[in-house]
Amino acid sequence: MDLEPEFAGIRALHPPTLDNSRDKTFGFLCGSMGGPDHYISRFGHPRLRARHLPFAVASAEPDQWLHCMAWAMEDIGIDEALRERLLTSFFDTAADWMRNRPG
Ligand code: HEM
């Protein structure tokens, strides 16, 4: 998000430094993909839609988020088939579910 102007919209919704966001996202994804439940043990039930309600998520934001995630996964060398599967059977649904504003 910090690297590309294309992601400026969603970047602006986040805090000035992304360490905490990165840490929480890692903890959540680790647990949701079958690893240790770091997020739940620290913060309780994710309630992700509720936790995103203070931030305006219409239709541009999920697109940016998905593109950013696709890019990040490619950047760190995740196998293409796995990337594709995560995007189409998990991240796209999750990102769409986070929409909380019209437009
Ligand atoms: C659809 C577009 C999305 C936008 C614009 C967005 C934006 C944000 C923002 C602004 C925060 C609060 C700042 C922070 O804690 O970093 C946040 C938190 C978080 N997001 Fe997202 N997000 C989106 C989608 C997702 C999706 C699809 C996931 C999971 C698959 C996710 C996982 C998380 C997690 C785990 C947190 C931390 C929640 C907490 O404990 O406060 N986000 N997101």
State which residues form the domain around 42: 17-46
Are 36 and 60 within one domain?
no
In a domain, 21, yes or no: yes
In this structure, the answer to whether residues 64 and 87 fall within a common structural domain is yes
pLDDT in the model for residue 44:
98
Any domain includes 3:
no
Residue 98: CB within 6 Å of ligand 1?
yes
> How many angstroms separate the alpha carbon of residue 80 from the centre of ligand 1?
24
| Residues 58 and 100 grouped into a single domain | yes
* Same domain for 65 and 34: no
Separation of 70 CA from ligand 1 center, angstroms?
15
Ligand 1 atom 27: the closest Cα is on which residue? 95
Each residue's pLDDT tens digit, 38-79:
999 999 999 999 999 999 999 999 999 999 999 999 999 999
pTM, two decimal places: 0.97
DSSP state letter for 5:
G
**Confidence label for 26 from pLDDT (cuts 50, 70 and 90):** very high
Kindly state whether residue 12 falls inside one of the protein's structural domains: no
